Amino acid sequence: MFCFQCEQTAKGQGCTKIGVCGKQPDTANMQDLLVFALKGLAQVALAGRGKNIRDAETGHFMAESMFSTLTNVNFDPERLAGLVRETVSKRDELKEKITQAGGTIPDSEAATFQPAPGLDEMVAQGEKHGVLTEKDPNPDIHSLKQTLIYGIKGISAYADHAAILGREDDKVYEFIERGLAATLRDDLSLEQWIELVLECGRVNVRTMELLDDANTGTYGQPVPTSVPLGARKGKAIVVSGHDLKDLDMLLQQTRGKGINIYTHGEMLPCHGYPELKKYEHFYGHYGTAWQNQHREFSQFPGAILMTTNCLQKPQEAYKDRIFTTGLVAWPGVSHIADKDFTPVIEKALSMEGFPADEDKGSVMAGFGRNAVLSVADKVIGAVKAGKIRHFFLVAGCDGAKPGRNYYTEFVEQVPRDCVVLTLACGKFRFFDKQLGDIQGIPRLLDIGQCNDAYSAVKIATALAEAFDCGVNDLPLSMVLSWYEQKAVAILLSLLALGIRDIRLGPSLPAFLSENVLDYLVQNYDIKPITTPEEDLRAILG
């Protein structure tokens, strides 16, 4: 195996024996095989478009399948093997339609590949289609190809979330197909690859817009909400991941059963949505970021539901009471395929739950774009009056790798006349800091999940319009942390929007070649983080 798609990859170069995320070589090889098979399906789907054959179901399936290969989602090689077979089945069905329409069918290796009958043989097939075995001879093109693939994985995650709530755009699916098919080509120039990667960022902006519309259109615009960090006496279920619909269905199914529902990780912002807040048994937030789940889940006295990515290898202390749903999978862990959460509920009812109320304070959530922009006049007035000197977007993924305390120290050292906006699980480095306010405006504004990055973009562009300047001219600095492929897609979106002077850490992606990194530095002034003191001095002068 070889994998370097996440920030924590071994030695900052690549995992070769076992993934730092916990995936075994057979899982890694099956993920590589699935991506290869999807490239073949993409070629055939594009040929179908040439004959006006379009299939939204296939588009969504491709997004789901790419999402399954994202870090910390699907660790089950048998489930991945099923997706490979389904990919080939859908590809061959499309071929028949194209033939009947008089079209030409691609005959590449990916478009004609057939999976072996057994899992071990499929794993061996996957070894032939990994990152290094299909390496482009030009290291910069190889780097851009991998960047594009990882950006597409991020787009696919957002597109799947949006499609689950009924929001789709065929242009997004078309780009996924075109982008994956392009990685099989050897006739594109370096400049064309750069444009494809930037187009990936532009398409991701559209995808995040779809997801924003899906979430707010279904559950209402988030409102500032105080979320308890303690516990309420009684039976309990904690929900982790990102999926709002799964949480909603669980809340419906547990109504009146005497079970309190808690969020974990990136589910924290769910407390701000009006249509989720209405459930009286939707109580508070438990724990912090995904990488702490071993300790936190072991101590949780109830059932656990994982809805999307962020799963780690379940520990024996809670393996019998953790459940997966959707695309998430771990061998031997109970999976809820039909969204009937009865097994989760029964497990929670069989356990003691919290023996008494616990008061551990609270945090504020729900500062989505509507909530922030509703007080835009107040914010603009504070800036013009010199009360607010600067805005910092300190956002992104959290992780276990050393160096991430930088973000805690950075926020602690931000001057009191500055405001910190945050989103995604990186906020758990400082989400419970009491930073106070500036003329009633909280100095720490939680915009939401990584899935809510569109809100941050809209806030920045609205402020730029209000001050009649470009986003790069605002008193706004972005200090980002990354871990997995959704963060890659968001970074590409920021570059596609022309955002400059981004500070990125805790380390730079291993899949970026030296020349590609130089290009980003020269054209977008991307900088690696240094120390909080040095970076604050450089930003604020």
Structural domain contains residue 518: yes
Strand 225-228 relative to strand 362-365: parallel, antiparallel, unpaired? Answer: antiparallel
* One domain, residues 211 and 250: no
The reply to whether 355 falls in a domain is no
- DSSP run (H or E) holding 322: strand 322-325
Give me the pLDDT at residue 401, please: 83
Residues 30 and 107 in one domain: yes
DSSP 5-28: -STT-GGGT-BSSS-TTS--HHHH
Read off the tokens for 455: 């809100």
C-alpha span between 204 and 226 (Å, rounded): 31
pTM equals 0.97
Written as six digits, the tokens of 512 are 């970026």
Contact 153, 69 (CB under 8 A): yes
178, 143: one domain:
yes
410 and 429 fall within a common domain: yes
pLDDT attached to residue 500 = 97
pLDDT 10s digits, 75-92? 999 999 999 999 999 999
Residues 459 and 480 in one domain: yes
Question: Which residue range forms the structural domain that includes residue 170?
Answer: 10-218
Task: From 176, 198, 218, give the residue that closes a domain.
Answer: 218
Residue 390's Cβ-side half-sphere holds a number of Cα atoms within 13 Å equal to 18
Q: In this structure, is residue 1 part of a structural domain?
A: no
Domain count, the chain: 3
Domain boundary residue among 285, 319, 349? 349
- Inside any domain, residue 357: no
Say if 4 falls within a structural domain: no
pLDDT of residue 336: 98
Q: Which of 349, 383, 416 is the last residue of a domain?
A: 349
**Do 271 and 410 sit in the same domain of this protein?**
no
Cα separation, 214 vs 199, whole angstroms:
23
Q: Is residue 362 part of a domain?
A: no
Same structural domain for residues 302 and 403?
no
pLDDT in tens, the chain (541 residues): 999 999 999 999 999 999 999 999 999 999 999 999 999 999 999 999 999 999 889 999 999 999 999 999 999 999 999 999 999 999 999 999 999 999 999 999 999 999 999 999 999 999 999 999 989 999 999 999 999 999 999 999 999 999 999 999 999 999 999 999 999 999 999 999 999 999 999 999 999 999 999 999 999 999 999 999 999 999 999 999 999 999 999 999 999 999 999 999 999 999 999 999 999 999 999 999 999 999 999 999 999 999 999 999 999 999 999 999 999 999 999 999 999 999 999 999 999 999 999 999 999 999 999 999 999 999 999 999 999 999 999 999 999 888 899 999 999 999 999 999 999 999 999 999 999 999 999 999 999 999 999 999 999 999 999 999 999 999 999 999 999 999 999 999 999 999 999 999 999 999 999 999 999 999 999 999 999 999 999 999 8
In terms of domains, do 15 and 157 share one?
yes
Same domain, 269 and 125: no
Q: What is the CATH number of the domain that holds 29?
A: 1.20.1270.20
Q: Say yes or no: 306 and 442 in one domain.
A: no
Q: Is there a single domain that holds both residue 102 and residue 186?
A: yes
Q: Does 462 fall in a domain?
A: yes
Residue 395 belongs to domain with CATH number: 3.40.50.2030
- What is the rounded CA–CA span in Å between residue 524 and residue 197? 14
- For 88, other C-beta atoms within 10 Å of its C-beta total 17
Give the span between the Cα atoms of 442 and 364, in whole angstroms. 9
143 shares a domain with 232: no
Pairing of strands 303-306, 334-336: unpaired
Does residue 3 lie in a domain region? no
